[in-house]
Amino acid sequence: MISDFILLSEVPCPCKVCVNNNPSFSVDPGIVSLFDRWRMVVGHALPITSFWRCKSHNTLVGGKVGSLHLVGAAIDFYDPSSDITPAYLDRLSKIIGDGGLGIIKPEGYFHIDCGHLLGLPKYRRWEGVQK
């Protein structure tokens, strides 16, 4: 376990090539804290769809050069009970604080990151894919 709500198996890149060639990865404690706080607020499981990525896999999925996934400072997750209401987003924004928050798909897929702790602008918010 990485934390109370993040399994070690959810962190590594899903790319089998990089895991076999280099099984190491990084995890930023800031993103773990953000995700755990949100998980406590919603009170149900939030399946992680992407955490740490190797450069090859990041390119394969259309990730940005310099993606925060490359340094373990971003998590994409799915909230199966999310209605993406203004109230839901307001609560999530308060938990994320200065960090990045993206609504990847309106069906409940989100991106959160702690880029503000790594020198990126604060309060980055967007809709759509910004990997």
pLDDT in tens, 67-79: 999 999 999 999 9
What's the DSSP call for residue 15?
-
pTM of the model: 0.89
Architecture of domain 27-127: 2-Layer Sandwich (3.30)
Mean pLDDT value across the chain: 87
Strand partners, 131: none
Strand partners, 119: none
Kindly indicate the confidence band of residue 89, based on its pLDDT and cuts at 50, 70 and 90: confident
Q: Which amino acid is at 73?
A: A
